[in-house]
Structure 1
Amino acid sequence: MKRLILLFSLTAVPLTQVIALECSINNAPLLDFGSKDPFVGGSVTANTPIQWSCSRNFFEVFFGLNSSFTMCLYVGTDNNGDVFPRNMTSITPGSSIPFNVYPSPAGSTVIQPNTDAIAVPVSFSGFQPSSGTTTAFGIAPGPMPSSVLAEVHDTSMLNSQVRRINTGQSCNNTVGTLLTTYTLDATIEIPDQCRITANDLDFGTQSTPLAQTDSNTFIDVRCTNASPFTVGLSNGLHASGGSRRMSDGSNFVSYGLFQDSARNVDWDNTTNRKSDVGLGTGTSIMMTVFGRVPADPLAVPGDYTDTVTVDVEF
C-alpha cells in the first residue's frame, strides 16, 4: 500500500505588512496672488484647493482598521528654507515678497512643516474610497517692499507632508504617521508701474509791460525698482507754432518749460523727454520743472492759465 502525504505550511504575515492605508494629493495646488500694483497698499490674498483621496485594502476593511481618522496637511519651507515669513523671490537676486500660508482666511495661524496643519476628517464606508477637497489660504501683507522688482516672484514648498492621527487628536501636537508628500507652489507678478504727482507752476502776479519772469515747480515720480522710464510734458492747450501759451480766454502769453535751471534744455513730449534719472527706485524721485515767461511789452492784463499733461513712459 502506498501513501500519499501532503505537506503544507501556514505562514503568519505580520499585520503591519498587510495594512496599507493609501492617501494622495491629486492636484498641483498653487497659491496664485495674481498681478499686484506695488504702489497700492493693503494685503494680497490667494487660496487654492487641495484635492485628496484615501483608500483601504481588504485586510483593513475586514479588521475594521482606519475606518476614521484625521489627516493633517502640513506645508514645507520655501525655497530658502524659511517659514517666518516664507518669501516669493524673483529670477533677479535681491527681490523678495513675504507671505505665508494659513488654514483659514483669517490668517491667524501659520501652517508649518510639523505643526498647525490643515486638519481633515476622513471616514470610510466599506470598500469605498474617501476623497474631498480642502483649502489653503495665502496672505502677502502690504505694502510691497520698495525694493521689489517688476518680475514674477514665486517659490515651491517642497516635501509638504500629509500625516495620519487618530480621531480626537490634534495636528498641532501629534506627529502622526506619514502618508504622502506634495508640493505647494506660490506665485505673484509685479508689473512695471509708475505713479506721478505734479504741482502747479505759478509765475505770480506781474505788472505790465511784462518783464521776463522765471519760476519752477516739482514733479514727484515713483516707478518700480529698476524699471526704466522717461517723463514728457505736453505743449498744453493753447500752443501755437511750437510755443506754449497761457490764455485768459481771448489773449495769450508765451512761456517755456525746461529741464535745467539755465533754461537751455527744452522739456517736451517727443525728442526732449527727461530721461537722465534712468531707473526707478521704488521710492519717490523729485524732478524740477523750470519755467520761463519771456518779456512781452504787448501783454494785456488778465489771469492767464494753461494745462500741461505729464506723461510717464515705462
Structure 2
Amino acid sequence: MRLLLGTIAGFFVAIALPSATWAQSCTFGISAMNFGQVDTLSGTQTNTSANMSVSCTGVLLSRILICPNLGSGSGGATASSRQMLSGTDALNFQIYSDASRSTVWGSYLWSYPTRPPVYSVTLSALGSATGSSVLYGAVPGGQGTIPPGSYISNFSGSHVEFRYRYAPVSNDCTITTGVVVARPSFNVSATVAANCLISTQTVDFGTTGVLTGNVDATGQVSVSCTPGTTYSIGLGNGQTGTGPTSRRMALGAQGVTYGLYRDTARSLPWGNSIGTNTVAGTGTGTAQGIPVYGRVPSQTTPAPGTYTDTVVVTVTY
C-alpha cells in the first residue's frame, strides 16, 4: 500500500484598522471681518460677521473638542472692547459668539473673564468631519471723537490659538494633554468717513404789536462733525424770501419780512453762498452750538396772526 503524503497550505486573513494613537488633524479658515463704513457720530451700532470653517481627520467615530481662543488682536483691548487702530487712533469693536451679540468671544490666554465658545465635531466612519461657525462683530455708536481713517486689527500668531484634542465627553478647555494647536489668521477692518450731524433751535420772535421798530430774537444751529472735518453752514432764503435779509414769514397771502445774521449787531447776513455769507468751522466730534441772530425790521404791520417760515440749513463738508 502506498502512503500519499501531502501538505496543507494555510493563509492569513487581515484587515488594517486605524490605530487608537492616530493623531487628530484639523485645519481652520476664518474670513475677514469688514465693517465697511461706520457712523461714529450717531448712537447706531454697526454689525457684521465673519465665517469660520473647520475640517478634521482622525480616528473614525471619535469626537474632537475644539477650543478657539481669540485674544485682543493687534489693535489691543480694554476690559470692555477690542480695538482697531489707524495710527495711534483707536476704534472700539467687539467679537461675539452669538447673533444677539451678548457673549464675547474670548480666550483662556488673556486676563479678561470672557472665554472662547466650545465646539466639537464627531468624525465619520471614514475618519473625517467638517463644520462651520459664525463670528459676530459689532462697532458701537457714539464714538464721535474718533477721527476719520481706515482702522484695522490683525488676528494672527499669539492672538489666535485654536486648541483641539480627542475628548469623548469633556468640554474642558484648560486641559493641555494631547492638545494640538492651530493658528489661523484674519483681519478686522472699518472705515470712519468724515461726517456731520445737525440740529436746530427755532428763532422765535414771540408776540409783538405794531412793527414800528426792530424785533430781535436768537436761535441756534448745532453741528457735530468728525474731528478735523472742516465744514460750512449755509441758511436758505426760506419758503418765499429773496435774500438773507429779506426772508418772509407768511400767513396766507400776507407776510412779515425778517433777516438772519451771523453777529449780534445784525450786520453780517447769513446766507447760503460758501465763503461769502456762511459760517465755517472744524469738527471736534462733539456738538458745536452756533447762534443765529434774527431781526424783524420796522415795516407795515399785517393782520394779526401767527406768521411762520421754514429755512433749510445746509452743512457742506
Name the TM tier (shorter chain).
0.7 to 0.9
Partner of 1:136: 135
Partners of 1:215 and 1:233 in 2: CA distance: 16
1:249 aligned partner, one-letter code: G
Partners of 2:200 and 2:76 in 1: CA distance: 44
Deviation at 1:29, TM superposition (A): 2.2
Partners of 2:36 and 2:251 in 1: CA distance: 49
Given that 1:237 and 1:308 are in contact with CA atoms closer than 8 Å, whether structure 2 keeps it comes out as yes
Partner of 1:32: 34
Find out whether 1:87 has 2:87 as its counterpart. no
Partner of 2:290: 287
Give the structure-2-normalised TM-score.
Answer: 0.78
Per-residue CA deviations over 1:189-237 (Å, capped at 9, x if unaligned) read: 3333322221221223333252122221111212223222211100011
User: Taking structure 1 as reference, are residues 192 and 20 closer, same or farther at Cα in structure 2, changes over 3 Å only?
Assistant: same
Find out whether 1:100 has 2:102 as its counterpart. no
Partners of 2:191 and 2:240 in 1: CA distance: 41
User: Taking structure 1 as reference, are residues 275 and 209 closer, same or farther at Cα in structure 2, changes over 3 Å only?
Assistant: closer
Partner of 1:161: 161
Alpha-carbon RMSD: 2.8
Partner of 2:51: 49
Query: For 1:76, which of 71, 77, 80 is the aligned residue?
Result: 71
Deviation at 1:185, TM superposition (A): 2.2
Map 1:55-70 to 2 at 5 A: 55-56=57-58, 67-70=62-65
Partners of 2:256 and 2:121 in 1: CA distance: 81
Partner of 1:5: none
Paired residue secondary structure (1:205): coil
Moved more, 208-217 or 285-294: 208-217
Per-residue CA deviations over 1:155-198 (Å, capped at 9, x if unaligned) read: 11212122123232334432352332111322233333322221
2:316 aligned partner, one-letter code: E
Given that 1:245 and 1:254 are in contact with CA atoms closer than 8 Å, whether structure 2 keeps it comes out as yes
Map 1:261-300 to 2 at 5 A: 261-271=264-274, 272-276=276-280, 278-296=281-299, 298-300=300-302
| Superposition misfits of 4+ residues, deviation over 4 angstroms | none
Partners of 1:73 and 1:269 in 2: CA distance: 57
Deviation at 1:299, TM superposition (A): 3.0
Partners of 2:297 and 2:81 in 1: CA distance: 59
Given that 1:162 and 1:180 are in contact with CA atoms closer than 8 Å, whether structure 2 keeps it comes out as yes
Find out whether 1:216 has 2:218 as its counterpart. yes
1:173 aligned partner, one-letter code: T
Paired residue secondary structure (1:197): strand
Deviation at 1:92, TM superposition (A): 4.3
Gaps of 5+ in 2: 1-18
